[in-house]
Structure 1
Amino acid sequence: MSLKTSNLSFKDRVDHEVNNDIMRKAVIKAQETIGTNRQKMVDELGHWEEWRDLAKQIRNHVLQNIDAYLYQLSEKVTENGGHVYFAETAEQATEYIRKVALDKNAKKIVKSKSMVTEEIGLNHVLEQEGMQVIETDLGEYLLQVSGDKPSHIVVPAIHKDRHQIRKDLHEKLGYDGPETPEDITLFVRKKIRQDFLEADIGISGCNFAVAETGSVCLVTNEGNLRLATTVPKTHIAVMGMERLAPTFEEVDVLITMLARSAVGAKLTSYNTWLTGPRLEGETDGPEEFHLVIVDNGRSDIIASEFKEVLRCIRCGACLNTCPAYRQIGGHGYGSIYPGPIGSVISPLLGGYDEFKELPYACSLCTACNSVCPVKIPLAQLILKHREVMAQTGKTPAIERLSIFGFGLANSNPALWKIGVNVGAKVASKFIKNGKAPISIGALGEWTKARDLPQPDGESFRQWFKNREAK
């Protein structure tokens, strides 16, 4: 299992994305549009901070009692005729789903949009068995056709424009129509309608699971999920273990916050509630239902100082306001979880060796804190990652050596005085027109976009002493 979406280094990814004009224009437009609509919905709802406090309390309560609610949920799903599987790792989750698919002799599988299935690498596992896996969310489908990866939690194809999409569809599927969204959508709709009817299994994610009833709540805008979960004979829902709510009353609050924060709407187009397989006398729904509950490191997070990140309801509001995301897009992060939330959760799920740069893809402006509907202190958690990496030696050796040298000089007044006096004179000789003769590392990156101040050979202490004498 890997959360990685690119084998390029962080620097190479960033260099590529900051020069991707199409992506940057698309992201800027989306951030501005969603941000404006979100604010309208916030103002219309009223008492927004009180709603945020309530949502935070609900999510904290779930995390504090997660063992009890998971037990209640599993009992109710089983009572409703479904099957429950607890997967400690991504590999266990994909292996269970693989076995179910093989048992059903599945040839074609339709999927609705699901971040957790991206996280565990489900598609790859099933395709290795020769099964055809079809993403039915429009954005995910377009990315699957082009061989691309999602770049946003809610709007996966946010980095593409209609010209690129039309080109991909023409080259891969022979589409010859115009590039208007309506025509492209109609083409895709006709293309995958038969897939729904022929699919042996439908796979979905889970926005919230209701412990009291064993129900799965799914929030979509296209209606594709209802076809994926009701037409095939088998439905498999995959959920992160923290995506729980005690009752429908709490889900009502969370959905209210989710829709407004994600896309600036009162509600999404479709709010779907599924409770087990089809019962006798019912006309639609699957004959068999499986709920796969994925841990994949979440238990460790609950026991850590990063516990608050599991309050996340995957609205993407932090991405929609983040200035760093605006410049480098989702692919700059190299993880299926980009933006501020990705900078916190990717190192926790995937490890610092894979994602040590992400906590530094942030200016700590705290804009993400102010829009998070469940009040996750994302900026503080990002800073905590930096602290942990420094304490455990995960930062570059030259950085650790530099900090050690600075600390040594800063703790010795005589050494500090010599350093600033000599440094001022040396800098005045070497820095010319805002540039240094040696342009490597952080200094090189800094001077790409700005000039260094021109020293005059006098340290501040010398300047102050001379001024005082005059």
Structure 2
Amino acid sequence: MQHTIHFKISSTQALNNSTLQKNLQHTKGLFVDKRKKALEEFPPFEDLRTQAAQIKESVLNNLDEWLIKFEQQALENGCEVLWASDANEACKLVADICQQNNAKKVIKSKSMLSEEIRLNNHLIKNNIEVIETDLGEYVLQLANEPPSHIVAPMVHMSRKQVANLFSKHHQTPYTTNIQKLTLEARKQLRKHFLSADIGITGANFLIAETGSALVVENEGNARLCMSLPKTRIILSGIEKVIPNAQAATLMTALLPRSATGQKISNYVSISTRVHQKTEKGEDGPTRVIYILIDAGRSQLLKKDTRDMLRCIRCGACMNHCPVYQNIGGHSYGWVYPGPMGSVLTPYYLGLKQAKELPFSATMCGACDEVCPVKIPLTRLLRDLRHKITHKEGGKTIENYHFLHGIGYAKKDGVTNLLPVSVV
């Protein structure tokens, strides 16, 4: 549910939430330290950042041509390609496919785009059971909460909170033992993997040259979602297309190092064709449908905002952001938190709905320094600030903060400038 207009209130509540603050303490340095170590062991990283930015920019300059090339190749592979202009159209397409297959149960791997279009809600309204299979997303589904991070969705929760949820929903003895909790989740999810009618995944990248979808993950659940059900739906934003396998290799060298400090994700899956009748065995889907979604992305193709479409959803900008580190992801009020969300949300939802978010940054530049595709996030945030202050009657940024109270949050009765400082 959107509550972006209440950022000031939400961030203040987050600062005063002792449980959240304790949970965030455990994670503040985790991703940052691991990324630093991974880069020290990989000297080509900086050069690859430049190459990745150039590749993405080249594609975005001719996005229509690359999308058509991807579609043509995917069709040759026996897949179907559908297009959705907005969230409603995308959800309707998924529901129609479920109806065509008489589907009663859908399994999903983690997809921020599905969160963005609120797919689960739409399917549930159509009497379709939806099971999240990523461990973090599964826990949040039990808790009826949205993700607070695009890579580690339940980073705001403690082990005790998870233990309480499992004990309540699974009717099992309370335990905080990590191995027992993960085995319990595996036991619960296994039956859904084996009984689902349709599998839904996202795509980290769409490879135009081969008409393939590339998915990176650490749990293996996405691979099960894409291989066990006979019908698979792949949701992707139109900006995810890249030229070829060489570009995919480069991106998969940057993404895990930026996101979690890993050299490579535990699972890297590239799927291309539907299951062929001539192939031995029965593994793999016999129907694969790509749904390529705009939902506001095409409006960012303008020269001054195009850079944002280079984003590969690694989460590095929020991991290093002092604001996010102090208030977590839910304070931002929508799917995308941190610096990248403070740019995307105003464009996707409108300035009126999210006018506080571009001011929710210290402008320290850490996000620019760590972005693996060199998105100039501080410049994009500054541009949004100017647009907002212009709409407010040409007030200066400082006056805007003073008049509206944005940029300040109180903790224990004391004004706190760190999370949302005025620049």
More contact order relative to length (CA 8 Å, sep ≥ 6): 2
CA distance in 1, matches of 2:165, 2:210: 43
CA distance in 1, matches of 2:318, 2:246: 28
CA distance in 1, matches of 2:140, 2:291: 25
The equivalences for 1:52-451 within 5 A come to 52-280=49-277, 281-283=279-281, 284-393=283-392, 403=399, 441=405, 448-449=413-414
Q: State how many pairs are aligned.
A: 412
Contact map agreement 1:166 1:175 (CA 8 A) in 2: no
Contact map agreement 1:110 1:202 (CA 8 A) in 2: yes
1:392 Cα shift?
A: 2.4
1:55 Cα shift?
A: 1.1
Indicate how the Cα distance of structure 1 residues 103 and 31 shifts in structure 2: closer, same or farther if over 3 A, else same: same
CA distance in 2, matches of 1:215, 1:237: 11
CA distance in 2, matches of 1:380, 1:443: 18
Tell me the secondary structure at the aligned position of residue 148 of structure 2: coil
Q: Counting helix residues as a fraction of each chain, which structure ranks higher? A: 1
Indicate how the Cα distance of structure 1 residues 12 and 402 shifts in structure 2: closer, same or farther if over 3 A, else same: closer
Q: Which residue pairs with 2:421 in the alignment?
A: none
Contact map agreement 2:80 2:288 (CA 8 A) in 1: yes
Tell me the secondary structure at the aligned position of residue 273 of structure 2: coil
Indicate how the Cα distance of structure 1 residues 353 and 72 shifts in structure 2: closer, same or farther if over 3 A, else same: same
Name the Cα RMSD after superposition: 2.3
State the Cα deviation string for residues 248-295 of structure 1 (Å, max 9, x = none).
100101110001000000001000011131112143111100000001
Output the amino acid matched with 2:205. Answer: F
CA distance in 1, matches of 2:408, 2:370: 34
CA distance in 2, matches of 1:443, 1:215: 44
Contact map agreement 1:208 1:245 (CA 8 A) in 2: yes
Indicate how the Cα distance of structure 1 residues 168 and 444 shifts in structure 2: closer, same or farther if over 3 A, else same: closer
Contact map agreement 1:73 1:211 (CA 8 A) in 2: yes
Tell me the secondary structure at the aligned position of residue 95 of structure 1: helix
Contact map agreement 2:132 2:141 (CA 8 A) in 1: yes
Indicate how the Cα distance of structure 1 residues 441 and 245 shifts in structure 2: closer, same or farther if over 3 A, else same: closer
1:25 Cα shift?
A: 3.0
Tell me the secondary structure at the aligned position of residue 373 of structure 1: coil
Contact map agreement 1:111 1:134 (CA 8 A) in 2: yes
1:75 Cα shift?
A: 0.5
CA distance in 2, matches of 1:312, 1:403: 32
Contact map agreement 2:140 2:146 (CA 8 A) in 1: yes
Comparing 251-260 with 301-310, greater Cα deviation is found at 301-310
Comparing 319-328 with 440-449, greater Cα deviation is found at 440-449
Instruction: Work out which of the two has the higher radius of gyration on C-alpha atoms and give 1 or 2.
Output: 1
Tell me the secondary structure at the aligned position of residue 353 of structure 1: coil
1:352 Cα shift?
A: 1.3
Contact map agreement 1:352 1:394 (CA 8 A) in 2: no
Q: Which residue pairs with 2:48 in the alignment?
A: 51
Q: Does 1:32 align with 2:32?
A: no
Tell me the secondary structure at the aligned position of residue 355 of structure 1: coil
CA distance in 2, matches of 1:108, 1:114: 17
